[in-house]
Structures are given as structure tokens and as C-alpha cells.
Amino acid sequence: MLMDLLISCMDYRLSKYLEYKADLIIRNAGGLVNDIIEKINLLKPDRILYMPHRDCAAMKLAKRILNNEIAVNNDIYNYLAATFKNAENLEEYNYEYGLSMLKKNFNNVTGELIDTKSIDWPERKPYYKILNSYDKYNNLNGYYIIQAPDISWIEKDIKIAEILGLTRLK
């Protein structure tokens, strides 16, 4: 059986749009791929869908970090901001960079930079929920979703959610 893997952002606006697009879903801050490329190899997906989005809070946070408006530890700086030092439009750069990294390492990769203005989204709730990659979003409309096969994939994303002022929903 073929397995599709979707990689996207944890943003609350994306859940309804993303939920049934793939068998396995990874959602993190900004849909970043740097730290997970090697781990994706272990999953052996047949197809990868890369779908970050415009108007991304993680990219806005990265810009604030780069402009020295907010201080973070080195782990978060290296994970979220270092890649974008010379980028003008962070969402576009993140999409192009992530897509090229995936295509360099995997076959059958497609991408879409989601325009959040063109999709239906629920009222925002300032909470995040951690899910396994196979979990569905029952009754989680409006919540930020951090999703991966294992918690080790998303430890920095949890810190970013907290920097963004989100509270963990148990």
C-alpha cells in the first residue's frame, strides 16, 4: 500500500484543509524540514506533500528574532531563524527552501504554499495539541496542532508554541 506523507505548519487555520490529504502528517512551526529530513527516511513515504502557508506566525517570529526584537536560546535560533538570515519574504523562502531540500532527498515530492485567505478557517483558540502523525482532528477546530510520529521530532516546536503564547491542551 502506498503511503503519502504531508508536512505543514501547526497553524490552527490549516486543520480542516489538511486533515484528509495524506496517511501520515507532520505539523510543526512553519512546516520546517531541516531537522527532520533524516527522520523522514525512516518512514519511507511513497509521496511527500509539502504545504506551508502564507501569514505564518512562526515566520513572523523568525523575523523578530533576526531583527533582535526577541531573544531566544541558540537551539531555537538555529532551528527557526538561522536559515532565513538573508531572506526578504520568509514564507516564500521557507517554501522554496523546504521544497528543494525535500526534492534533493526524496522522489515524488509536490508542494503548495497555502494562501490562508483562500481557505475556510475556524475561530482561533490559544491552545496547542500534540498528536501522533496518524491521528485525526476530532473536535480540535481552532487549535494549533503539533503532529509527528514521535515527540522527539517536535520538542523545539513545543518551545516555539509557548513563545507564541499558546498553552498545551492535554
Q: Could you tell me the three cell numbers for 14?
A: 490549516
Q: Which domain holds residue 19?
A: 4-168
Q: Which residues contact 122 (CB under 8 A, 6 or more apart)?
A: 12, 13, 15, 16, 141, 142
- How many distinct structural domains can be found in the chain? 1
Q: Could you tell me the three cell numbers for 142?
A: 481552532
* Domain CATH code at residue 114: 3.40.1050
pLDDT digits (tens, 9 = 90+) for 55-102: 999 999 999 999 999 999 999 999 999 999 888 899 999 999 999 999
- Grade residue 2 by pLDDT with cuts at 50, 70 and 90: confident
Nearest CA to 162 out of 98, 70, 90 is that of 70
Residue 31 near residue 51 (C-beta atoms within 8 A)? yes
Q: Helices (DSSP H) in 31-154: which residue ranges?
A: 37-43, 57-66, 74-76, 90-105
pLDDT digits (tens, 9 = 90+) for 30-68: 999 999 999 999 999 999 999 999 999 999 999 999 999
The CA distance from 112 to 39, in Å, is 22
